[in-house]
Structure 1
Amino acid sequence: MASSIEKEFDETAEQPSKDETLECPICLQTCLQPTLLPCGHVFCFLCTKGIAFQSKKCAMCRQEIPRDYLEKPKLLQPLPDTTTSLEDEYDWFYEGRDGWWKYDERTSAEIESAYLTEIPSFDILICGELYVIDFQNNVQHRKYGYGRKRTIKRDKKSAHAIGIAGCRF
């Protein structure tokens, strides 16, 4: 029996259950915000975003990713509800052109862990690119190459955001 990630894209195809754990073939970790590409392969949304920007093709079969896919990705699970949390729970956010975005839960946890060690900055892989998180200046920027600096902040999990890691609520 073929797994759902091996099946061709079909709205009627059996989707993974909420309890089924998917591993992303790009980052080799549990899929966060798993997205189903038209070719049927499943990756983390951030991994999909990374390959869409770099090669514009599926990392498994090389089928082209439609230009508008990132605007309306096929998420296999709804985005987590972040409006309710304990008062002492924090997440990390980055500023975009139209407001604050939450980092995905794995990236936010890595940033929080580094923050608690009180180091001034550290490097982290986001969307297939190496970034520097600079706690002294509250910014993130690409380690190599060009790109804008984004303001970052640590705030309550329930703080307003327009989405998570590029996926709008």
Structure 2
Amino acid sequence: WLVKKTPDRYEVKIPARIFHEYVAFMRARINKGMGVAEDAIWSAATECLFLTSSARTKKDIEDNIEREVIGKTIGKFRNKYRSALRYGILDSAPDIDVLLLAKEIDAAVVANDFGIQKWAEELGVRFVPAKTFPLMLKEYLKQRSSISHSTKSDFFDDFEES
């Protein structure tokens, strides 16, 4: 008999190394795709410059024009591409390591990365936004200091009364 079944995604365990390698592989593929798109932009832009200039060959197109015009476009493209493809995902091996370690030692993760936040919540790991962490730390140290001083003060007050 054939039985249709979906995997139990919460009970099946896989080694973290496999997950780690998958993320590294996907990052390489994303970057390779960006390189292919960049090459297409360079080619199309160079062709347009060639058709509209007085240059006899594509090599005659001034390097600085190519760099200034096409280079800026490529820079904008890279930023938009990365934002579109990498926002909200785990896009590096260190991201995975941070989450795995936090899960292993039952620690919170402090980060300014939506992908880490999203997956920390998915894994049940406490998450603290990086922008709020300094304030939290100051408040913690302030509270700890006031508790420490009041404890010492109470101790010496009790000692003097005896």
Fold match by TM threshold 0.5: no
TM range (shorter): under 0.3
Instruction: Please tell me whether Structure 1 or Structure 2 has the larger radius of gyration of its CA atoms.
Output: 2
Q: How high is the TM-score relative to the length of structure 2?
A: 0.24
Higher strand content, 1 or 2: 1
